[in-house]
Every structure is written in structure tokens, then in C-alpha cells.
A and B are shown apart, each in its own frame.
Chain A
């Protein structure tokens, strides 16, 4: 019983205090590897790599993984639910407030500033990922995808599918290093 409570508390904490999405959860998750021993640092690093081809947000992936490893399916349900719960409560409260104060000038003004801020944060994530992951062949692939996006509006699945396939082929020729 105590293990479920621990899973709940740790992942609720992550859901409540991680600001800025996936990357922001990483320090918490590494810390958790140290204090709780639910998974090793090595496993977490593997998980991060693996989460690029498994569906879902990284935070959910790791929560499910840690819960499942420590306490089976029920553990996975508890940890995954807990990481989501703070989001759920907060978003519902904010949605209700927004309905009420949608036309309030201060609310409009804050949203007016938050939108370009959000855009800037997303651009920074993109540049960070670019710097950390790109090599010469990657530039070529990215250029090709960029060109494809300019000529026609395409489904996101197109880009993911093409890039996975090109990655697979490039791997055979050792171009991905």
C-alpha cells in the first residue's frame, strides 16, 4: 500500500512543479532515480531515447515506466494518473475563470503578452534540440523536409514517417552519428 502512496506523492509533485514541459521534468526524474531507486539513471536515459519513438509526452512515459517497474499495472496507473492530476485541476479552474473573465481587459492584456512569450519559448526549445542533435546529414534531411513543407501543407505524420525511414536507411550507411 505504501508504495502506491509514494508513487502518488512523487509524481503528483512532478506534475505540480515542472514548468515548461518535457525538458523541465528531467531534473525531477533524475533526482527520483537517486532517491527512490525505482529506476536507474541509465534506464532513465534509455527511456528518454526510447520515448522519441513511443507515443506520448516524456513525463507520462517515465511515470508509466517507473510505476510499472515498481508495482505493476496498478502502480503504472497510479503514477501516470498522479502526474496528470495537477494539470487537470489547474486547467479546469483556469478554464472556468476564463469563461467568467474572458473580456476582462487585464486578462486580455496578459494573454496578449503570454502568446509571443509562448512562441519564443517554443522556438528556444527547437533551437536547443537542433544544436544537440544535428549533423551534416541531418541538415540535409532537415533541408529536404523544409522544402517539402514549403511546397504544400502536409500531415505531421508525413514528416515523422519520412524522417524515420530516412533515419533507418541512413543508419545502414553510418550517416547518423
Chain B
């Protein structure tokens, strides 16, 4: 499918509409819409952008949409992508803002929140699985995964600290290689 600005907007609007249960679900949604259905980018690029989106401040879903939009059609692409992602959120909140307390109190709504929460878990699992395939390529990256996981889930280390550490490790590895190469 052609990467016109309109098509980019439409695709991100669809993803924005399906973005339930928080921004984390954006990875499997973009995988399904952009990689599988439209072939606009490949899995590897998407994972790279996702890793970068987590490494900088800001909402991950917003960061990722801007990365992908820019990749597709530079700055205009980035603008329509982020508008597409945010618009459904914006409109739905404006509509329900006044009714929020009534909606929250409805028992069947609570049940739906609960169900969607479980659906989000499986989507997260699938996202991790897909990202694992693209990012754990050797023993070393496997160690990095488990150390990150333990620091974050076990010790509640702030993501920013972990990311800064990771960046230093990346630079250090390359520096070591360079030194060894010179010897």
C-alpha cells in the first residue's frame, strides 16, 4: 500500500483507536498494521525504534509513532502519525469527561476493565516474544535481558538508570573492540 500522508494518518488513527489498556500495547498493534498488513517497515526496524522510544523521555507510544512516521515520510509523516495516534484518545476523553464518575460506577464497566486488563497481558507477552526474537541474538544480549528484568521487576530500579547503564555498556563494548583491534 502506498505511503501517502493520508494512508499514514488512517493507519495510525486505527492503531490509536485500538490502543486500549495503555500505550504499551502499541508494539503488537504496529506490528500487525505496519509490518504484516502493509509492509511499510520490517520487524527489526520496529524493534529498534521501540528500544529507542523507551530510551528517551516521553510517552512510549507517542515516541514510537513519531519515529515510524518520520521514517515513512519525514516530518509531515511524523506529524500525521502523532495526530492519528492522539486524536481518538483526545476525542473520547472530551466526550466522557463529564460522565466519568457515572461510567466508573457502572458495574459492567468494571468487568470490562478487568477483562481488557487480561487481554493487555497477552498482548504484552506477544510483544516481548517478538522483541526477544529480534534483540536476543547471543549469550551477551540474553544476559542483558535478564539483568534488566531483575533490576526493573525485582529491585524497582528506575528505567532511566537502567537505560543510561545500557548506553554506557554499549559504548564500552565498542571501545574494548577497538582497543583489541589495534593490538
Query: Which A residues are closer than 8 A to B by beta carbons?
Result: 15-22, 24-25, 43, 46-47, 49-61, 64-65, 68-69, 73, 76, 80, 83-84, 86-88, 90-92, 94-95, 105-106, 108-130, 133-134, 138, 141-142, 145-146, 149, 155-157, 159-172, 176
- Which residues does chain A contribute within 8 Å of B59, judged by CB atoms? 15, 18, 21-22, 25, 57, 59-60, 83-84, 87
**Pair count A-B, CB < 8 A:** 371
A52 vs B19: C-alpha distance when bound (angstroms)? 9
9 closest A-B pairs by CB: A167-B115, A56-B89, A171-B111, A120-B148, A163-B119, A20-B159, A57-B23, A115-B135, A110-B170
Pick the contact of A112 from B17, B112, B141 — CB < 8 Å? B141
Could you give, for residues 108-135 of chain B, a 1 whenever the CB lies within 8 Å of some chain A CB and a 0 otherwise? 1111111111111111111110011011
Contact in complex: B128, A126 (CB < 8 Å): yes
Residues of B within 8 A of A16 (CB): 57-58
Contact across chains for B22 and A120 when beta carbons are under 8 A apart: no
- Given A21-B59, A60-B90, A112-B170; A129-B120 close (CB under 8 Å): yes
Nearest opposing residue in chain A for B86, CB measure: A60
Q: Are A88 and B66 in contact (CB under 8 A)?
A: yes
Most buried by A among B71, B75, B131: B131
Q: Are B118 and A114 in contact (CB under 8 A)?
A: no
Q: Quick one: which of B161-178 are within 8 Å of A by CB?
A: 162-163, 166-167, 169-171, 173-174, 177-178
Q: State how many residues of chain B have any CB contact under 8 Å with chain A.
A: 103
* Cα distance, A138 to B147, chains bound together (Å): 29
Contacting residue for B145 out of A17, A43, A119, CB 8 A: A119
Q: How far is the CA of A119 from the CA of B177 in the complex (A)?
A: 25
- Beyond A18-B57, A84-B86, A87-B59, whether A126 also contacts B97 by CB under 8 A is no
CA distance A58 to B70 in the complex (A): 23
Chain A residues, Cβ within 8 Å of B53: 91
Is the CB–CB distance between A168 and B97 below 8 Å? no
Question: Which of A17, A87, A155, A169 has the most chain B CB atoms inside 10 A of its CB?
Answer: A87
Note all chain B residues with C-beta closer than 8 A to A56: 16, 19, 23, 61, 85-86, 88-90, 92-93
